[in-house]
Amino acid sequence: MVNEFEIKKQICDIGKRIYNRNMVAANDGNISVKLSDDEFLCTPTGVSKGFMTPEYICKVNAKGEVIQANPGFRPSSEIKMHMRVYQKRPDVGAVVHAHPVYATSFAIAGIPLTQPIMPEAVIALGCVPIAEYGTPSTNEIPDRLEKYLPYFDAVLLESHGALTWSVDLLAAYLKMESVEFYAQLLYQSKMLGGPKEFDKETVQRLYEIRRQMGLPGKHPANLCQNKDGLNCHNCGGSCGKEESKGADADLVASITKKVMEQLGLK
């Protein structure tokens, strides 16, 4: 049986963490937790997520409509974005949205986190694409996010911030930490002349470690998102874009060779 009050306290604790770790400024960011298929707890709109107490937390249904909220509190303005994650990913138990400085800088620059540069980032995250810009609080963000949901557990929101989700709140929060740490390393290594990327074989060995660990969630070690043309680093999967690019290139080369021969140019 889920202890709702304990979960509310946990949401407040995680709110403090994202605030104290500079992952949000002022009243930014939002957090939600799934209680059942039609009951979710979420942070209220327009308050600092670093100073919440359990009575701040609102309860909504699967449509994001209020089930319970104390006077003066309304659910997050981004509740539609959270609900779309739960709708498309029944395995998800919690969602965290923040504006961490490095990850958000990549989101603003339009650079996805797809370079394989260190083992933990490859194993934990795979890669982090950018969902195209949408106006906050509207359906534009969930609509643009949707295509990434079957393949990823973290995305950057273009010119806005980052969004992570996982089986429970701690895991969703830790994913946000990993995204920010990876973004910071990538930024700093770019300042030092550019990161040295792992080759495809090294990435495959790390994917194998992830498979053996049996970690939950969506990751290129278990899926091949390149088949839909989505961003990913060095995907070695059999359905990979890289491979089909290779196959196309081979076909073009063989046709060119034949044409050249027929024209007597070779």
Asked if 30 interacts with ligand 13P (CB under 6 A), we say: yes
Q: Which one of 11, 78, 107, 155 is in contact with ligand 13P (CB under 6 A)? A: 78
User: Cβ distance 152 to 170 under 8 Å?
Assistant: no
Residue-by-residue DSSP string for 52-111:
--GGG-EEE-TTS-EEE--TT--B-TTHHHHHHHHHH-TT--EEEEE--HHHHHHHHHT-
Q: In terms of C-beta density within 10 A (0-12 exposed, 13-18 middle, 19 or more buried), how is residue 19 classed?
A: buried
Q: Which is nearer to ligand 13P, 23 or 127 (CB)?
A: 23
Report DSSP state, residue 225. Answer: G
Site for ligand 13P in 189-208 (CB under 6 A): none
Q: Which is nearer to ligand 13P, 46 or 194 (CB)?
A: 46
Segment (H or E) for 156 = strand 154-157
Q: Which one of 21, 62, 133, 136 is in contact with ligand 13P (CB under 6 A)? A: 136
Instruction: Give the interface segment with ligand 13P, choosing from 28-36, 202-210, 216-224, 230-238 (CB under 6 A).
Output: 28-36
Asked if 159 interacts with ligand 13P (CB under 6 A), we say: no
The residues with which 66 forms a beta bridge, in sequence order, are 60
Distance (Å, rounded) from C-alpha 252 to C-alpha 246?
Answer: 10
Asked if 22 interacts with ligand 13P (CB under 6 A), we say: no
Instruction: Give the interface segment with ligand 13P, choosing from 4-12, 24-32, 144-152, 221-229 (CB under 6 A).
Output: 24-32
Q: Which is nearer to ligand 13P, 10 or 43 (CB)?
A: 43
Asked if 32 interacts with ligand 13P (CB under 6 A), we say: no
- Listed in sequence order, the residues at least 6 apart from 49 whose beta carbon sits closer than 8 Å to its beta carbon are 15, 16, 18, 19, 24, 27, 28, 29, 30, 31, 43
Instruction: Give the interface segment with ligand 13P, choosing from 1-9, 21-29, 173-181, 213-221 (CB under 6 A).
Output: 21-29
Q: Which is nearer to ligand 13P, 131 or 186 (CB)?
A: 131
Asked if 158 interacts with ligand 13P (CB under 6 A), we say: no
Asked if 28 interacts with ligand 13P (CB under 6 A), we say: yes
Structural tokens at position 7: 């979960």
Residue (of 41, 45, 78) closest to 61 by Cα position: 41
Q: Which is nearer to ligand 13P, 11 or 230 (CB)?
A: 11
Instruction: Give the per-residue contact string, 38-67, with ligand 13P (x = CB under 6 A; - = no).
Output: -----x-xx---------------------
Number of residues binding to ligand 13P, judged by CB under 6 A: 11
Distance (Å, rounded) from C-alpha 38 to C-alpha 98?
Answer: 24
Work out the angle at residue 102's Cα, subtended by the Cα atoms of residues 99 and 108, and round it to the nearest 5 degrees. 70
Distance (Å, rounded) from C-alpha 100 to C-alpha 21?
Answer: 8
Instruction: Give the interface segment with ligand 13P, choosing from 55-63, 72-80, 175-183, 249-257 (CB under 6 A).
Output: 72-80
Binding site for ligand 13P (CB under 6 A): 27-30, 43, 45-46, 76-78, 136
